[in-house]
Every structure is written in C-alpha cells, then in structure tokens.
Amino acid sequence: MLDKAIVQRLQDVVGQENVLTRKVELVAYSYDATADMPHQIPDVVVMPTTSEMVQEVVKIARTHQIAIYPRGAGSNLSGGTIPFKKGIVLSFQRMNQILEIDPANLTATVQPGVVIAALNSAIAGHGLIYPPDPGTVATATMGGSAAENSGGLRGLKYGVTKNYIMGMEVVLASGEKVKFGGKTVKNVTAYDFSNLFVGSEGTLGIITQLTCKLIPAPKFRRTMMGIFSSLEDAGNAVAGIIAAHVIPATLEIMDNKTIRTVEAFANIGLPVEAKALLLCEVDGMSQDLVNTEAEAVIEVFKQNNCEYKAANSDAERDQLWLARRNALPALASLDNTCIVEDATVPRSRITEMLVACEKIAEKYNVTIGTFGHAGDGNLHPTILYNMYDEELTARVHLAIDEIFATALALDGTLSGEHGIGLAKMKYLGDELGQSGLDLMRSIKEALDPDYLLNPGKMIPLPEAVA
C-alpha cells in the first residue's frame, strides 16, 4: 500500500476521480491479455488527461521511488503491462483526444489513449487510413501499439507501427518532456528518437502524444483462397507470389491442425485433410492493376497443385475470410489455456518452420495449431492446454522453448509483433548475445537509471541478474 499522503498528492495532480484505489479496481489492472503469466495487483491506478499531469506523476514516483507501469488497453500478448513490482499503473484510457487530422500533410496528431479503430473512423471521411491493424484494433490504443510496435495482417505491404510514427512527445524518467519529429516526410534532425521509443515497451519513456502518417485508402481489392495438400506446395506458392512481384496486402497461412479445428468449430466446408490454406488479398488504387495482380496470384496457385477460390463480391470475400477469422477463436476453444506465440522466420523458411512446429507438437505430445502471416514470415504457433495439469504445463513450456530455438536457428527472431515483455525476456540473450544485452542495459540506464519505468520488462532488473 502506498502512503496516504502520496495518494493524496496523485489526486491533487489528476483529480480524485482519476485515481483508483479500491481492491476490485486494482484487480482490473492486474493483468493483460497474455496467458500463463502471474497477475500482480498495483498499489494505485492513475488516469492522467494531459502530459503535464504525466510529468507531475513521474516526479512524485521518482521522489518516492515508485514503479510506473504505463498502460493502454492492456491487450498485449507479452505480459508487457502487468505491474510486476506493484506501484502505479498509469492508464491512458481517459487521455484519448484526437488533436488534429491534417489531410494536406496526411498526418494525424493524437493523445496516446485514442483507440486505433476510433482514429480510422475519424479519418474515413477523408478517404484515409492508418494501416497498422493488430488483431485488437477495436480496443488497442495508439500509445500502447506504438510502445509495442504492433504489426497485423497488412504488414507485408503496409509495414508495421514503426513505419507510421512521424513524431512524438515523451515524458522521460526525469519528469522532463521532449518533443521530436513532426509532420515532415523527411526529417534527419538528431537521432531517430521515434525508432528508439517505438517498441521500447514503456521501459524508456512515457509516450504522451503521437503524430502519425496516414495513407489514401485503397479503392479496389481482390481476395483468393488456396487449399494445398502439401505444406511444401503452400510454401512454394508464397515464394512464387513474391517472385511474380506481387506484394499482397494480406497473405495468411493456416496449418492442418488449424484447418481441422476451424472446421469442427464453424462448419464452413473446409477440407479437413488439407495440409495448408493460404488466404491472399491484393489491393490498390486501380481496378486493372488489382485484377492483374489477382490473376498472377491465381496463376501461382495453379502451378502449385492447389484448389483455389476467388471472391467476386463482398459476401464471397466474407466467406473466404471466415476461416481466418475463426482461427484463434476455434483453437482457443479447445482447452482452457491458449498461448499465442509470434516466432518469425525469413519468408523463404516458412515451410521449414511449419514442419518444425508439427514435429515439436508430436515430440512433446502437446496441441499446437499454427497460423499466421506467411507473407512476412510471422507465424503464430498457438498452444492449447489445461492449466490445471502441471505435468502437461511443463511439457508445454519445453515445447515453447524449442519453438523459439528453432526460429533462431532458421535465422528468424523471437518476436514479430508481440514484443518481449515478461514472457520472452529469458530468450533475449539467445538472439542478441551478451553484447546486445549490455547495449540494451546501457540505453535503459542512460534514460531510466532508477528502473522506474515498466521495471522488470524486456531487461531483467539488476537485482535479478546479480
């Protein structure tokens, strides 16, 4: 429990209604969307509405050496917002104003609590979109997704969050506020601070304002689905599409376990013996171009021994998307615990990774369904198990260790879009080596020497190492 005087000071800064201290309120901020993580109840939840308030809260925390856990919607999948060392959860859900939409410069300036979908609704009338689309767009905040550098289904063609953040205002652990970047497309002034803070998972500074890039909404799209009887054919089709110089907006893959589970869950007529399913969507500003790309994709599908379907209407498109939309819900319904990983490999090694996941499932006798973004190599091996079964849980943990080791062996990476947080911290040295870990610690300690900002995430606490 925090000293009453500290709570009073926090109330003076943000207003009494923006400080939560009741037990049930604290429980509501003790977790995020990550499975298999310990929950921790914070001492207090503070909901600022201006960056000045954030500065004052940081100064109070610094004086009393209290941990601060910045939080958007708490929808991340790496344990990134769990208040591991108690202290203050700094929720940005009430700091949610869209400050400016600038169609001339194709930018929007927002407070961190703006929900991604709300921004997209606000700019739709201008014919613009903000492309990063993590699965949780309807809840995830701009600040949270910038801190996590979220990806999504359109990463292959449109990139991820870091490609759209042009400027920021950040409150540092010192309580000072810095502003950098802005509305200019070109800006090489000073270090590229945006790329330092995007993806820093709240460990280096607290994002209090963002200027982001918008693009014209694509006017046309075509959607196709291919069903393959061998994983190899599916992998070759992915390579073939890129070799044909088509960059689809979406190129999703599902393995046999996922196909079977979706079919049992939703009865949409998928062939349960199929080894892989590819969902491909091309989009663009001209109907001709989009049609040409669609035909090229279909040609590649034909060359790789698959059955394919192409949608000719929105209703048919929805039908093709049904399988993908149901992938996670269907898998998650298999058991009471669902871990979604995001090990990522170079596109050319997708087939090897899918085969490895199947072998790992067999070796440890655990249930793994794999689906994901084939176009950018970002797979979601999804592990289902009964958390009340300790022996099974232990095998699941071993299987996950091996999934990450395999991704690294295939020249891949630990995380394509979920981040490191608490969940993957133990593997970090395997990818970065000691010199990489040391570099991270140097940056952390330069910006947050007292480990006040999201402590215990990404970089182990000094006492945990010693």
Partner 1 sequence: MSGEMTLNAGCTAPTYHDDLRLVQGELDKCMKCGNCMAVCPVYSVNKDEMAVTRSKIAVAEAVMKGDLSMDDPEVSDMIFNCLVCKSCMTNCPTKVSYDRIALGFRAALVRKNGLPWLKKMIFTGLKNPKFFDVAMKAGASMQGIAFKGDRKMKAISPRSPFAMVGGSFGFDAGRKMPELTVTPLRDRVSEVVRPAEVKVKAAFFTGDSLNYFYPDAGMDLIEVLTENGVEVHVPKAQNCCGIPVLVHGDIETARTLAQNNLDTFEATGCDYLITGCGSCGGAWQHDYVDLFANDPVYKAKAEHWSKRTYDVSTFLTKVIQFRQPKGQVDAVVTYHDSCHLKKTMKVAAEPREVIRSIPGVTLKEMAAPDTCCGSGGSYVVSHYDTSASLGKNKAQDINQTGADTVSTGCPACMMQLLDNVSRHGKEQKVTHYISLLAESYRKEKAAVH
Residue 262's H or E segment, with its range, is: helix 256-266
Among 6, 9, 30, 151, binds partner 1 (CB under 8 A): 30
Quick one: 139 or 230, whose CB is closer to partner 1?
Answer: 139
Stretch binding partner 1 (CB under 8 A), from 6-14, 134-142, 166-174, 395-403: 134-142
Q: What is the DSSP letter of 115?
A: B
Return the half-sphere exposure (C-beta side, CA atoms, 13 A cut-off) of residue 328. 10
Q: Does 155 bind partner 1 (CB under 8 A)?
A: no
Binding residue (CB under 8 A) for partner 1 from 47, 119, 276, 384: 47
Q: How far is the CB of 48 from partner 1 (least distance, A)?
A: 12
Which one-letter amino acid corresponds to residue 387?
M
391: tokens are 């022996």
Sole binder of partner 1 in the list 5, 24, 464, 466 (CB under 8 A): 24
Burial call 402-422: b when 16+ CB within 10 Å, e when fewer:
bbbebbbebebbbbbbbbbbb
Residue closer to partner 1 by CB (options 101, 334) is: 334
CB–CB of 385/367 below 8 Å? yes
Q: Does 267 bind partner 1 (CB under 8 A)?
A: no
Q: Is 10 in the site for partner 1 (CB under 8 A)?
A: no
* Interaction mask 320-339, partner 1, x per CB under 8 A: --------xx--xx--x-x-
Q: Quick one: which of 94, 179, 349, 395 contacts partner 1 (CB under 8 A)? A: 94
Residue where the block lists tokens 């091309």: 282
As measured in angstroms, the least distance from the Cβ of 1 to partner 1 is 16
CB of 262 to partner 1, least distance (A): 12
Residue 194 interacting with partner 1 (CB under 8 A): no
Give which of 457, 338, 456 is closest to 396, Cα–Cα.
Answer: 338
If the CB atoms of residues 133 and 233 are measured against partner 1, the closer one turns out to be 133
Site for partner 1 in 373-402 (CB under 8 A): 387
Q: Determine which residue in the list 40, 51, 91, 211 makes contact with partner 1, applying CB under 8 A.
A: 91
One of 50, 97, 139, 319 touching partner 1 (CB under 8 A): 139
Verify binding: residue 367, partner 1, rule CB under 8 A. Answer: no
User: How far is Cα 348 from Cα 374, in angstroms, rounded to an integer?
Assistant: 10
Told to check if 124 binds partner 1 by CB under 8 A, we report: no
The CB-of-41 to partner 1 minimum distance in angstroms stands at 9
**CB neighbours (10 Å) of residue 390?**
8
The answer to whether 366 and 383 are in contact (CB under 8 A) is: yes
Binding residue for partner 1 (CB under 8 A) from 4, 23, 186, 245?
Answer: 23
Beta bridge mates, 171: 177, 206
Beta carbon of residue 338, minimum distance to partner 1 (angstroms, whole number): 6
A 10 A CB-CB count for 363 gives 12
Is residue 28 a contact point for partner 1 (CB under 8 A)?
yes
Nearer to partner 1, 126 or 441 (CB): 126
Tell me: does residue 245 bind partner 1 (CB under 8 A).
no
Query: What are the residues facing 108 on neighbouring strands?
Result: 101, 212
Applying CB under 8 A, does 36 fall inside the site for partner 1? no
- Written as one string, the DSSP assignment of 383-434 is EEE-TT-HHHHHHHHHHHHHHHHHHHHTT-BS-SSS--TTTTGGGHHHHHHH
- Strand order of the β-sheet with 337-340 is 306-310, 220-228, 276-284, 250-255, 367-373, 378-385, 337-340
Binding to partner 1 by residue 261, rule CB under 8 A?
Answer: no
List of residues 6+ apart from 366 with CB closer than 8 A: 360, 383, 385, 392, 395, 396, 399
In angstroms, the CA 460 to CA 216 distance is 42
141 binds partner 1 (CB under 8 A): no
82 or 106: CB nearest partner 1? 82
Does the protein bind partner 1 through residue 96 (CB under 8 A)? Answer: yes
Both structure tokens of 258: 């996922």
Look-up: residue for tokens 């689905």? 225
And the tokens for 252? 């999703």
| Binds partner 1 by CB under 8 A, chosen from 8, 39, 318, 436 | 39
Task: Compare residues 16 and 336 and give the one whose CB is closer to partner 1.
Answer: 336
Q: Which of 51, 55, 136, 415 binds partner 1 (CB under 8 A)?
A: 136
Shortest reach from residue 254's CB to partner 1, in Å: 16
Applying CB under 8 A, does 33 fall inside the site for partner 1? yes
Q: Under the criterion CB under 8 A, does residue 4 sit at the interface with partner 1?
A: no
Contact criterion met (CB below 8 Å) for 166 and 182: yes
Residues that bind partner 1 (CB under 8 A): 20, 22-25, 27-33, 35, 39, 47, 73-75, 91, 93-94, 96, 113, 115, 117, 136, 138-139, 328-329, 332-333, 336, 338, 387
